[in-house]
Amino acid sequence: MKFRVERDVLAEAVTWTARTLPNRPPAPVLAGVRIEATQEGILNLASFDYEVSARAEIPADVSEAGTILVSGKLLAEISKSLPNKPVDFSVEGTKVSVVCGASRFSLLTMPVDEYPSLPLMPELTGVVDGQEMTAAVSQVTVAASRDDTLPLLTGVRIEIEGEKITLLATDRYRLALRELTWSPTSPEISTVALVRARTLNDVSKSLGSSGEVNVALSVGNGVDMIGFEAGGRHTTSLLVDGDYPHVRRLFPDETPIHAVVATQPLIDAARRVALVAERNTPIRLNFAEGQVILDAGQGDDAQASEALESTLVGEEISVAFNPQFLLDGLNALGTDFVRLSFTHPNKPVEFTGQESLDGEDSKHYRYLLVPIRFAN
């Protein structure tokens, strides 16, 4: 096998393909990136760990076709460090030679015949705008659990009904919901998938800038898989198995009290006040007519407080939140104002965004946060 490829093109493709390689692969060959050079002048790069696969296609000047398997992370590090010149690959026995300008590397190859077959992309299900997908996924994954002992809650539930997609995630302390539209191949489609939040977040960031993203779902027939494709890059992932909890019912039907605050000033104030909040201690928000007072710390410990303008509909109310969970929700909103809707000081609080102080709130993104009980 022998080919020449542009350094930047190679580095980007290898980095993207190797990004999901496991740190402790169940088999040594799964630490590799498979590179196939075709007579048509195409390099196919692939990685697979039996759960997530990634493939990229890039142009190359191929002198001799062939297939090799090399350490993915090592090749990614090397390709990023090479000078900005064409890169020449050639195979010599069990080693592959990488030459770029005055830089030369010799890498051991892995037994390519031991590499597992890559999963096929499922049939196309629909097309979604990449930028909107990236924004929606980032808003929802903040609420997904990082605790691998609860695998169901590390996933994002994707509900598809015709042209509407709903993303849901929860870690039991907060719940995020985001709705967006897409173009399905069948207007009658109705299905549900549970995708690992880590995988979905990674895919949305890496493919979202490519314009439209093709989404392919395979549900049933013994294999449940989701695939994404954009800009010559393909990735597939097995779905998380299990019944996701019925979380939609947690959103309140009515909220007799709500307050509206400018989002960025609230974020800034919460960050400042949180500086004195020791681990596992909350920020308290006291809402009264015309203002909200944030405070943290008590007794002989360091204390902080700050007042902001706000509007209040209903009776005065005080709540306390985990500082990071509060900031996660506020940062995810992306609107000038935030509406906090209450039913009771100890009941979950719904965060929604609105564009003006007196406007209506949008239900496209909803963030539900469980308050922390505190002694008055």
What's residue 281's pLDDT? 86
pLDDT tens track for 232-285: 899 999 999 888 999 999 999 899 999 999 999 999 999 999 998 877 789 999
Shared domain check, 194 and 165: yes
What's residue 373's pLDDT? 84
Q: How many domains does the chain have?
A: 3
Q: Cα-atom radius of gyration of the chain, to the nearest Å?
A: 25
Nearest CA among 334, 335, 369, 336 for reference residue 351: 369
Q: List the single range of 22-26, 70-74, 123-127, 342-346 with lowest mean pLDDT.
A: 22-26
Q: Which residue segment(s) compose the domain that 232 sits in? A: 124-248
Judged against a pLDDT cut of 60, whether residue 4 lies above it is answered with yes
Instruction: Establish if 376 belongs to a structural domain.
Output: no
Shared domain check, 131 and 66: no
Per-residue exposure over 97-106, b if at least 16 CB sit within 10 Å of its own CB, e if not: ebbbeeeebe
Q: Which of 220, 248, 276 is the last residue of a domain?
A: 248
Judged against a pLDDT cut of 70, whether residue 64 lies above it is answered with yes
In this structure, how many other beta carbons lie within 10 angstroms of the beta carbon of residue 39?
9
Q: How confident is the model at residue 211 (pLDDT cuts 50, 70, 90)?
A: confident
What's residue 220's pLDDT? 61
pLDDT tens track for 335-348: 999 999 999 989 99
Mean pLDDT of 28-54: 95
What's residue 22's pLDDT? 87
CATH of the domain at 14: 3.10.150.10
295 neighbors 283 (Cβ within 8 angstroms): yes
Shared domain check, 244 and 128: yes
Percent of the chain with pLDDT over 70: 98
In this structure, how many other beta carbons lie within 10 angstroms of the beta carbon of residue 93?
6
Instruction: Establish if 374 belongs to a structural domain.
Output: no
Shared domain check, 352 and 298: yes
Q: How far is CA 105 from the centre of its chain?
A: 35
